[in-house]
Structure 1
Amino acid sequence: MQYFTICAMEDTDLSSDSDLDALINCTLLYAATKFKRKKRIWKSSYLRKRETHGEFRLTSEFSDDQFTNYFRMNRMQFEEVHNTIQNKIYHEGSRAHKEITTKEKLAVFLRYLASGNSYKSIGYSYRLGDRTVSKIVNEVSAAIWECLQQTFLPDPTEELWKQIAKEFEQRWQFPHCVGSIDGKHIVVKKPAKSGSSYFNYKHTCSIVLMATVDANYKFITVDIGSMGRFSDGNIFSSSILYKKIQNKTLKLPEPDMISGGEKELPYVFVGDEAFPLLENLMRPYPKRKVTANYENKVFNYRLSRARQTVECAFGILAGRFHVFRKPFEIKLASVDNVVKAACVLHNYLRMTSTATNVEDIADEELLSDQLTSIRYNNSRNSRNAFLVRENYTHYFNTTGAVQWQRDSILRGKY
């Protein structure tokens, strides 16, 4: 073709329109043929070495302790999670693009949770494009929630509520408590064209994670995605949990007698001053009512002991998954998926670990630097809610009293 073009140029009279058109057609044909012959390079040489030099390949050299520290789960747990979700995240590779294995996808997602590094940083270490990392994080987080949620974060039933209440009574001496509730601001990068919708009282942009936790620091319910500007009681009042409490559709057991008690008491959640006082939600007495009132101090202390489980759970979550230590710089829909997956993995690890994780104890005090509390609530409370709190107060100071509560009050723990 190249020879034909040269000959055409030697023998062609360029002043003739027909000869000029023929020369142009020959030149275009030559260019098209040359383009077809050129082998297309689908990725750089750096990315082509993913299988031999990528970080996932190097993790096979880790010791058991290094593997657990790197992925925040041991090899057996990694394999179990992988076997559960692999059918959801498997895709056949094309001829030009060799398939990324399901194990490598899970590894990328777990490393993102554990480190909190950007997609670009993860991409460099795993020799993947940052857009590929983004797709993997979305795909794996959705698969983890879909496959593990029913087992490790199921919708509570009446039997489950009773089991949770029994554990709270045995471990934290608060009978009929079915969960500790709190909400935390998860800092995110300001979404485009969002105005002040996500701007919170700490002058950052955030969405809210509203959660209830059982006596063993496991999440019972999670509600994610409320805008950060709703920093008062509006966050809880707009949550699904509040609506179910008000509509009596939460499947809570009917009020009954507490062992040694004199009156039937409802099953309740415990929260701090950010929440309203409801028949099924206890909050502490305000400071003005505990200054010279020993009985109210006892109630506040006993409630605080039970309520600390949710603070510890958030601390463990942020201590284990460092992605919560930095602002999320990804899309809000992706943040929701990542947070839900992190919560269900937190429960999975709490239920499958054979020994107490040292991080659980060490990281309980990390919360104030990572997840911001929601603001206090000054909403009005019903009379029945006041009566329920008074009945609990009476119980904690009579037949439900424990030996060490007086010493704790004297030390100022209320």
Structure 2
Amino acid sequence: MYSDEQIKAAALLGLILLRRRQNRRRRYRKKRTIWVRKWIQNRSRYGATNTLLKELREGDEAFYKNFLRLSSNDFDYLLEKITPLIQKKDTFMRKAITLAERLVVTLRYLATVKVCALRKKIILGDSFQSLMYLFRIPTNTLSQIIPEVCKAIYDVLKDDYLKMPNTEAEWTKIADDFNTKWNFPNCLGSLDGKHINIKAPPNSGSLYFNYKGAHSIVLMALADANYKFTYINVGSPGRDSDGGVYSNCSLADAVTNNLLNIPNERPLPGRSTAVPFVFVADDAFALQPHIMKPFAFRNQSIQERIFNYRLSRARRIIENVFGICSARFRILRRSVELVPKKMKIIVCAIAALHNFIMSRKESANMYAPQGTFDVENEDGTIIRGNWRNEENSQHFVPLERIPRGISLEAKNVRDEYKNYFCREGEVPWQRNYI
């Protein structure tokens, strides 16, 4: 046991050492010379929101839409929706950044990408630095504003514009649209995934390291025939395989346990064998009774090639959705210097904004004008959408193709579709494209 004197002496020594350490830190700490830089204080007079954007809004609506990806009316609507979630109060020390500035800088951040003028290549990293000069908001403040506003956007839009179908009528409507537009009956959506590159998180090892040699999170998405997301799952580590991402997402669990009120099996038009409603996907996924993927590309019969062609027509939907999202929200085309949690919020906001814009006629005309998506002539000729003219990005890449086993039930379902496409469901031009 220590005596009271020894305890007091030890405590005094500890206090002395602590004071010395604090003094040493103060000695080497860089002293702040100014509270707020003068040019940042002039935000209300010269910031882009109150100068350039105001001028565009009053005199050039087309460029206003190009700047924010939204019409002025839709911007006002969205601002009103998120106001309760991002409202800040002025203090006696300074005025809060306005709500309009917060939303504008966030939309601009999602829409832009840094490019090297000499090599015309995407530069890794974020654009907080350039936004700071444009909007006169410090980078450390931007790093807080943008995730906060993205979360607010997702929260206010998800229930109305990113809602998973959960009734038989809603699923049947999607299946009817796929049959009418792409001649693929009993189809509930086009399924695919993309890697979104990020900076390697601290102490993450190889958890986020993908097959392309970069660190990423995975966006797994389902789209309907009208180029809208009906389901998204964001945040799985890049090292996970496609099967692992899908099997661990809530969609797989809901389908397996029949939690989505998907209609019961029914025969394809003109046939008698009942088959389940399915999602169409590429060969990165495992063939399952409710997931149709192409036949292997070796030693294909004519019937198998026809099936692959018909499936690829329906699967173009998700390709086009990913393509237009990355073309309009160009943050997806670069490696982002954000932790996975914040990047997940940003991707969710982009998906919600995509559906929101596609549902708002005024903004949709700019966001996806005629010729944006792939279209098909009467003879089956595919006219490639304008988004495909964009330079492919190494930071928004598809999932890895991995050979997998196939169940007998899944084979039978695919064979039933194959026979249908070659008989009752044949389209006149299909043999010209196999």
Tell me the CA shift for residue 367 of structure 1.
7.6
- Indicate which of 53, 58, 71 corresponds to 2:46: 53
**Equivalent runs, 1:14-163 vs 2, <5 Å:** 42-58=35-51, 59-62=53-56, 63-116=60-113, 117-157=126-166, 158-163=168-173
Would you say the 8 A contact 2:193–2:242 is kept in 1?
no
- Indicate which of 392, 402, 405 corresponds to 2:417: 392
Match of 2:386 in 1: 362
Aligned-partner Cα distance in 2 for 1:268–1:207: 26
Match of 2:177 in 1: 167
Match of 1:271 in 2: 281
Paired residue secondary structure (2:388):
coil
TM-score by length of 2: 0.82
Match of 1:20 in 2: none
1:207-229 residue CA offsets vs partner (Å, 9 max, x unmatched): 00000111121111000011111
Aligned-partner Cα distance in 1 for 2:88–2:242: 45
Tell me which amino acid in the other structure corresponds to 2:422.
N
Tell me which amino acid in the other structure corresponds to 2:112.
S
Tell me the CA shift for residue 42 of structure 1.
3.9
Segments of 5+ residues of structure 2 without an aligned counterpart are 1-32, 114-125, 374-384
Aligned-partner Cα distance in 1 for 2:140–2:271: 60
Tell me the CA shift for residue 66 of structure 1.
1.1
Match of 1:334 in 2: 342
TM-score by length of 1: 0.85
Match of 1:240 in 2: 250
Would you say the 8 A contact 1:314–1:367 is kept in 2?
no
Moved more, 81-90 or 144-153: 81-90
Match of 1:18 in 2: none
Name the structure where helix makes up a greater proportion of residues. 1
Aligned-partner Cα distance in 1 for 2:200–2:73: 39
Tell me which amino acid in the other structure corresponds to 2:318.
V
Paired residue secondary structure (2:298):
helix
Would you say the 8 A contact 2:222–2:231 is kept in 1?
yes
Match of 1:5 in 2: none
Match of 2:401 in 1: 376
Aligned-partner Cα distance in 2 for 1:366–1:339: 20
Would you say the 8 A contact 1:311–1:367 is kept in 2?
no
Would you say the 8 A contact 1:278–1:381 is kept in 2?
yes
Tell me the CA shift for residue 86 of structure 1.
1.2
1:280 maps onto 2:304 in alignment: no
Aligned-partner Cα distance in 1 for 2:217–2:348: 13
Tell me the CA shift for residue 323 of structure 1.
0.5
1:125-152 residue CA offsets vs partner (Å, 9 max, x unmatched): 1111112111111111111111100000
1:197 maps onto 2:207 in alignment: yes
Match of 2:380 in 1: none
Would you say the 8 A contact 1:42–1:96 is kept in 2?
no
Aligned-partner Cα distance in 2 for 1:82–1:261: 51
Aligned-partner Cα distance in 2 for 1:366–1:378: 30
Aligned-partner Cα distance in 1 for 2:284–2:110: 29
Would you say the 8 A contact 1:86–1:102 is kept in 2?
yes
Aligned-partner Cα distance in 1 for 2:87–2:403: 50
Tell me which amino acid in the other structure corresponds to 1:321.
F
Would you say the 8 A contact 2:196–2:332 is kept in 1?
yes
Aligned-partner Cα distance in 2 for 1:228–1:41: 43
Segments of 5+ residues of structure 1 without an aligned counterpart are 1-39, 410-414
Match of 1:221 in 2: 231
Tell me the CA shift for residue 378 of structure 1.
2.2
Q: Which has the larger radius of gyration?
A: 1
Tell me the CA shift for residue 257 of structure 1.
2.9
Moved more, 221-230 or 254-263: 254-263
Aligned-partner Cα distance in 2 for 1:70–1:346: 15
Moved more, 231-240 or 332-341: 231-240
- Indicate which of 323, 338, 353 corresponds to 1:345: 353
Tell me which amino acid in the other structure corresponds to 1:143.
A
Moved more, 375-384 or 134-143: 375-384
Aligned-partner Cα distance in 2 for 1:92–1:159: 46
1:259 maps onto 2:272 in alignment: no
1:296-354 residue CA offsets vs partner (Å, 9 max, x unmatched): 11111000000011111100000001111110111221101000000010011111135
